[in-house]
Amino acid sequence: MRILITNDDGVNAPGLIALRRAAAGLGDIIVAAPKLAVSGCSHRTTTDRALHVDQRSNETYAIDGTSADCVRIAFHNLEASFDWVLSGINHGGNLGVDAYYSGTIAAVREAALYGVPGIAISQYHNHPLTDQDWERATSWAGVILKKLIAKTSQPGTFWNVNLPSVSLEKSLPNVVFCSLDPSPLPLSFESSEDGNYKYNGKYSHRQRQDGSDVDVCFRGSISITEISVVKNSF
């Protein structure tokens, strides 16, 4: 099995290292990730300039573009084919409507457009993440990857996984398959006298519907949501 790993936090991010460790032994791994962090880039693609590809090793490429750019280049220029695309582990949650803003999720959405199944994994946190958090995230992600790769995926779908923020002593939390929460993010901006506005919304204070991915993850369980790429006919 051939696996592509990417993210939106950058090729040197600890979450990407954690995901690569979690996927070890599942197949042949190629990493193609943004050279720099592009968090929140959504499904933006680059068509107005050249994208530089820096080959760091036989299996690792740093690309001067977005998460979706990385998948595009990997599919069309780096390898003949991939069986799975994994994205993450994101530094922070990607819950509910975050799916529309997240570069982490956009990477596996791009893969789904080509019929390649994918899994996006994010680590929600309400405290600064430590090395121990990433070690635990690696362990949990390894369990989830095996579970989802063993399932039959429908064409044009991908998985969105969020790991909860819980005490380090906690063992593997409950795993809950659930729907995306449609509630909007809490919007708040701090203004300054020079006319600038800085976003300062409280992520942990967001609205949530009972049983949705936001609710599941905030209550301390691992949320898993299957998302479909809708192809409209015009």
Those residues with Cβ within 8 angstroms of residue 213's Cβ, 6 or more apart along the chain or in another chain = 95, 96, 160, 162, 178, 179, 180, 181, 223, 225
Does the pLDDT value for residue 78 go beyond 80? yes
Q: SS3 letters for 2-27?
A: EEEEECCCCCCCHHHHHHHHHHCCCC
* pLDDT for 180: 97
Most confident segment among 17-31, 127-141, 165-179:
17-31
127 part of a folded domain: yes
Write the DSSP assignment of 59-83 as a string of letters.
SEEEESS-HHHHHHHIIIII-S--S
* pLDDT for 177: 98
Residue type (1 letter), 96: G
**DSSP 8-state assignment for residue 48:** S
* Beta strands at 60-63 and 84-91: parallel, antiparallel or unpaired: unpaired
* Beta strands at 53-55 and 28-34: parallel, antiparallel or unpaired: unpaired
* pLDDT for 231: 56
In order of 8, 129, 135, 137, 211, the CA distances from 132 in angstroms are: 21, 8, 5, 9, 29
* pLDDT for 225: 98
123 part of a folded domain: yes
66 part of a folded domain: yes
Tokens of 66: 């977005």
What mean pLDDT do residues 101-126 have? 97
The structural domain count of the chain equals: 1
Residue type (1 letter), 65: G
Confidence of residue 168 (pLDDT cuts 50, 70, 90): confident
233 part of a folded domain: no
Confidence of residue 222 (pLDDT cuts 50, 70, 90): very high
Contacts 24+ apart (CB under 8 A), 20-26: 21/138, 21/142, 22/89, 22/137, 22/138, 22/139, 22/141, 22/142, 22/145, 23/86, 23/142, 23/145, 26/1, 26/145, 26/146, 26/149
Q: What does pTM read for this prediction?
A: 0.94
234 part of a folded domain: no
**CATH assignment of the domain containing 101:** 3.40.1210.10
What mean pLDDT do residues 51-74 have? 97
Confidence of residue 200 (pLDDT cuts 50, 70, 90): confident
Does the pLDDT value for residue 20 go beyond 60? yes
Does the pLDDT value for residue 99 go beyond 50? yes
What mean pLDDT do residues 61-87 have? 95
Per-position b or e across 47-71, b if 16+ CB within 10 A of its CB:
eeeebebeeeeeebbbbbbbbbbbb
Q: What is the residue range of 12's domain? A: 2-228
**DSSP 8-state assignment for residue 146:** H
* pLDDT for 234: 38
Confidence of residue 5 (pLDDT cuts 50, 70, 90): very high
88 part of a folded domain: yes
Confidence of residue 137 (pLDDT cuts 50, 70, 90): very high
